[in-house]
C-alpha cells in the first residue's frame, strides 16, 4: 500500500508584493447561511465526506456582522470502531459521545494537552465516522498571512474550541458551505497514527494539490514509520 502514497509538493510561491488595488474579501453572511450544507450531506461514509470537504468553506460567526471563514485544503477520514487509528476504537465514552452522535455535528477533542482539533461527524448515528480538518486557507475575518496549516493552528485561528463539541453544523454560529470549484486532490496515508499498524497505511488523507497551506509532515510520520 505504501508504494502508492504520494507526498505533497507545494506549488510555486505566489507574488505577495502589495497591490494598490487589493481589497479585503467581502463576505455576505446571509448568502453563506443560505448555502450551508444540510445534515443529509454528511450522511455518508467518512471516506467520501473527507474528499468532498476539500475546497469547502468553514464559517464561524463571532458576532452580528463578524465571521471567520476558511477554505479546507486537507482532511483525514476516520471510519469507526474497526479503524484502529480512530477514537471510536475505544467505544462510547464521555470523550467519544459526540463522535458517535448524529452526522453533521462537531467533534472537538484536545491533543497533546494543548491543541483543539475540529472534526465533522458523518455517516449515521452510532457509526463513529468522522473527518478531521487538518489545514485550511484564510478567506475572510482572518489575517491572510496567518497559517492555518495543521489541525491545531486551524482550530485556534478559527476560534473553535471544545465548547463547540457536539454542536450541530447546519446553523450558525458554526457551519460549512460547499466548494465553488473542484480542486485537484492528492491522497496519502494519514499522519501520526503509526500505532494503528496496517490501518496507518490506509490512503485516507486528502489534500488540495494547488495549496501551499497543506501540511508537510516528515515522511516518517505518514503511515507506518
CATH code for the domain in which residue 32 is found: 3.10.300.10
Q: Using an 8 Å Cβ cutoff, are 75 and 206 in contact?
A: yes
At 17 the pLDDT is: 43
Strand partners, 191: 222
Domain membership flag for residue 15: no
Confidence (pTM):
0.89
pLDDT at 4 (0 to 100): 41
Asked whether residue 9 is domain-assigned, the answer is no
Domain, as residue range, for 51: 28-218
The answer to whether residue 145 is domain-embedded is yes
For residue 5, being part of any structural domain is answered with no
Query: First CA to last CA across the chain, in angstroms?
Result: 13
Say if residues 59 and 32 touch (Cβ distance below 8 Å): yes
| pLDDT values of the chain reduced to their tens digit, one per residue, 225 residues | 444 445 565 555 444 444 333 444 567 899 999 999 999 999 999 999 999 999 999 999 987 788 999 999 999 999 999 999 999 999 999 999 999 999 999 999 998 778 999 999 999 999 999 999 999 999 999 998 889 999 999 999 999 999 999 999 999 999 999 999 999 999 999 999 999 999 999 999 999 999 999 999 999 999 998
Q: Is 70 domain-assigned?
A: yes
For residue 145, what pLDDT is reported? Answer: 85
How many distinct structural domains can be found in the chain?
1
Residue 13, exposed/middle/buried by CB under 10 A (0-12, 13-18, 19+)? exposed
Contact yes or no for 101/125 (Cβ under 8 A):
yes
In a domain, 21, yes or no: no
| Residues in contact with 82: Cβ distance below 8 Å, sequence separation at least 6, in sequence order | 89
Amino acid at each position: 500500500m505504501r508504494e502508492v502514497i504520494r507526498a505533497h509538493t507545494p506549488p510555486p510561491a505566489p507574488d505577495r508584493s502589495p497591490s494598490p488595488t487589493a481589497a479585503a474579501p467581502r463576505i455576505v453572511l446571509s448568502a453563506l447561511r443560505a448555502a450551508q450544507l444540510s445534515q443529509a450531506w454528511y450522511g455518508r461514509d467518512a471516506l467520501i465526506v473527507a474528499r468532498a470537504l476539500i475546497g469547502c468553506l468553514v464559517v464561524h460567526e463571532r458576532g452580528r456582522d463578524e465571521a471567520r471563514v476558511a477554505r479546507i485544503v486537507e482532511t483525514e477520514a476516520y471510519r469507526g470502531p474497526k479503524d484502529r487509528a480512530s477514537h471510536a476504537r475505544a467505544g462510547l465514552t464521555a470523550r467519544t459521545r459526540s463522535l458517535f452522535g448524529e452526522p453533521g455535528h462537531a467533534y472537538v477533542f484536545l491533543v497533546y494537552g494543548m491543541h483543539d482539533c475540529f472534526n465533522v461527524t458523518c455517516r449515521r448515528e452510532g457509526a463513529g465516522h468522522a473527518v478531521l480538518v487538518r489545514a485550511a486557507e484564510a478567506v475572510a475575518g482572518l489575517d491572510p498571512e496567518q497559517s492555518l496549516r495543521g489541525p491545531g493552528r486551524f482550530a485556534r485561528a478559527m476560534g473553535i474550541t471544545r465548547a463547540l463539541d457536539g454542536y450541530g453544523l447546519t446553523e450558525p454560529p458554526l457551519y460549512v458551505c460547499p466548494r465553488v470549484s473542484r480542486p485537484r486532490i492528492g491522497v496519502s496515508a494519514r499522519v501520526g497514527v503509526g500505532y494503528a499498524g496496517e490501518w496507518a497505511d490506509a490512503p485516507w488523507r486528502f489534500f488540495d494539490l494547488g495549496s501551499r497551506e497543506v501540511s508537510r509532515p516528515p515522511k516518517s510520520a505518514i503511515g507506518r514509520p
